[in-house]
Amino acid sequence: MFVWFMNNRFFSAFCLLLFLPGCAPTEAPDPAYKTQGAIFGTTYQVTWYMPGEEAARLEVEDRLARNSAQGMTIEQQVGQQVFSILDGVDAAMSHYREDSELTRFNRSEDTQWTEVSDAFYEVLRTASLVSEKSEGAFDVTISPLIELWGFGVADTGDQVPAREEIERILAETGMHHLEIDEGSTRIRKQQATLSVNLSAVAKGFAVDQVSNWLQDQGIRRFLVEVGGEIRAMGLKADGADWRVAIESPQGIREIYGVVPLRDMAIATSGDYRNYYEQDGVRYSHTLNPVTGRPITHTLASVSVLAASCALADSWATALMVLGPEAGKEKAESEQLAVFMIIREGEDFTPWASTAFRQQFGQIEVMQ
């Protein structure tokens, strides 16, 4: 049973990781290891359990020790590798770092085929896939619009841009201006001034990268969280699913609902955490790639569950752009596990897709 607590507050733009009590263990559970830190202008946390069988545990310990400095604890060994992975993603996809692969690509006006890193290529392929399936609702080429509206790197102030400026930049954006070679890790700009922003998929991709590395080490029970995007594998030591709390709205750190997570990722997008107001009008950081303007519909937040956190991350943004009605249709046609919260005046109405209900059963709403 999946229980959601309704309390008529804004829903947070990200998931809050909490370790909520599960089933009481019959014996002392395996110890949980943790590492955490800061990256991408946000925080990350990884919690994992070593294998229960001694032979498997010794194999993991040996594998970790071979790649780490002598005298480091298991947590230090994993922590070192996790940060290295995350820093590698940041070096490829940060739009704040002057030396990132993304920054270099955006500044270049070369329209010839360009060889890129595997990570950069993989993220762009994911973005292209979701863009196509969402009929353009997900578009990483709207970086100039993000900057124009004041949600990018430059501090432009809370100024609503002129319609003419929006239309001028719109003419220079669009995934059709970006070509991806399916036979190699090459990409090409079809418009010299094209630039991309990967913030709506990079965190999810980073979660997947850390998760894949943990599994390669032989660690099968873990939870990875980067900036609220989460992926969980296996069960906790007490035999229960990982339980992820979704933060309540209005900036108050309270629980809105709890997701039992196993062998799956979850990503959430919302319209209320990052915005500004002018003349009584609120302008969300989520921009519609078709209109070039912030979304104005009543969808407050959307959570997507998928095997890949990069896909969940991308789809959460795409559905947020589409809004409640079109988003519902797309969730059903793509058989996505989706949970939405929709504004109705002062209240909120929850909605779950068929795939979501099949996984979690009937949702109980507490008024």
173-210 pLDDT, tens digit per residue, is: 999 999 999 989 999 999 999 999 999 999 999 999 99
Q: For residues 70 and 2, which has the higher predicted lDDT (pLDDT)?
A: 70
**pLDDT of 1 higher than 60:** no
Do 7 and 264 form a contact (C-beta atoms < 8 A)?
A: no
In this structure, of 21-30, 44-53, 155-164, 241-250, the range with the lowest mean pLDDT score is 21-30
Nearest to 183 by CA among 111, 112, 113: 113
What is the band of 136 on the pLDDT scale with cuts at 50, 70, 90?
very high
Mean pLDDT score of the chain: 86
64-93 pLDDT, tens digit per residue, is: 988 777 889 999 999 999 999 999 999 999
The percent of residues in the chain predicted with pLDDT above 90, rounded, is 64
What is the band of 346 on the pLDDT scale with cuts at 50, 70, 90?
confident
CA atoms 233, 46, 89, 197: torsion sign: positive
262-278 pLDDT, tens digit per residue, is: 999 999 988 756 665 66
What is the band of 280 on the pLDDT scale with cuts at 50, 70, 90?
low
**pLDDT of 143 higher than 90:** yes
Instruction: Give dist(CA 229, CA 2) in Å, integer.
Output: 19
Beta pairing, strands 114-115 & 186-189 = antiparallel
In this structure, of 66-75, 97-106, 331-340, the range with the lowest mean pLDDT score is 66-75
In this structure, of 22-31, 91-100, 104-113, 240-249, the range with the lowest mean pLDDT score is 22-31
pLDDT score, position 4: 29
**pLDDT of 21 higher than 70:** no
Q: For residues 34 and 269, which has the higher predicted lDDT (pLDDT)?
A: 34
pLDDT score, position 344: 85
Cα 236 to chain centroid, rounded: 23
Does the pTM surpass 0.85? The reply is yes
As beta bridge partners, residue 3 has 364
**pLDDT of 150 higher than 90:** no
Ordered domains of the chain (ranges, CATH) = 110-189 (1.10.3980.10)
pLDDT score, position 259: 80
Do 180 and 190 form a contact (C-beta atoms < 8 A)?
A: no
pLDDT score, position 14: 37
The alpha carbons of the chain give a radius of gyration, in whole angstroms, of: 21
* CA atoms within 13 A of residue 34's CA, in its CB half-sphere: 8
Per DSSP (E only), the strands in the chain are 2-5, 15-16, 33-39, 42-49, 114-115, 178-180, 186-189, 221-226, 229-233, 242-247, 255-261, 264-270, 275-278, 281-284, 299-306, 337-344, 347-352, 363-366
The percent of residues in the chain predicted with pLDDT above 70, rounded, is 83
Do 259 and 267 form a contact (C-beta atoms < 8 A)?
A: no
**pLDDT of 138 higher than 80:** yes
In this structure, of 110-119, 156-165, 327-336, 346-355, the range with the lowest mean pLDDT score is 156-165
Instruction: Give dist(CA 27, CA 24) in Å, integer.
Output: 9
pLDDT score, position 252: 58
Instruction: Of 18-22, 157-161, 327-331, give the range with the top mean pLDDT.
Output: 327-331
Residue 200 CB contacts under 8 Å (≥ 6 apart), including other chains: 138, 140, 269, 313, 314, 317
pLDDT score, position 258: 79
pLDDT score, position 254: 65
DSSP 287: B
CA atoms 59, 65, 68, 72: torsion sign: positive
As beta bridge partners, residue 48 has 33, 222
231-264 pLDDT, tens digit per residue, is: 999 999 889 999 887 765 555 566 767 788 999 9
**pLDDT of 27 higher than 90:** no
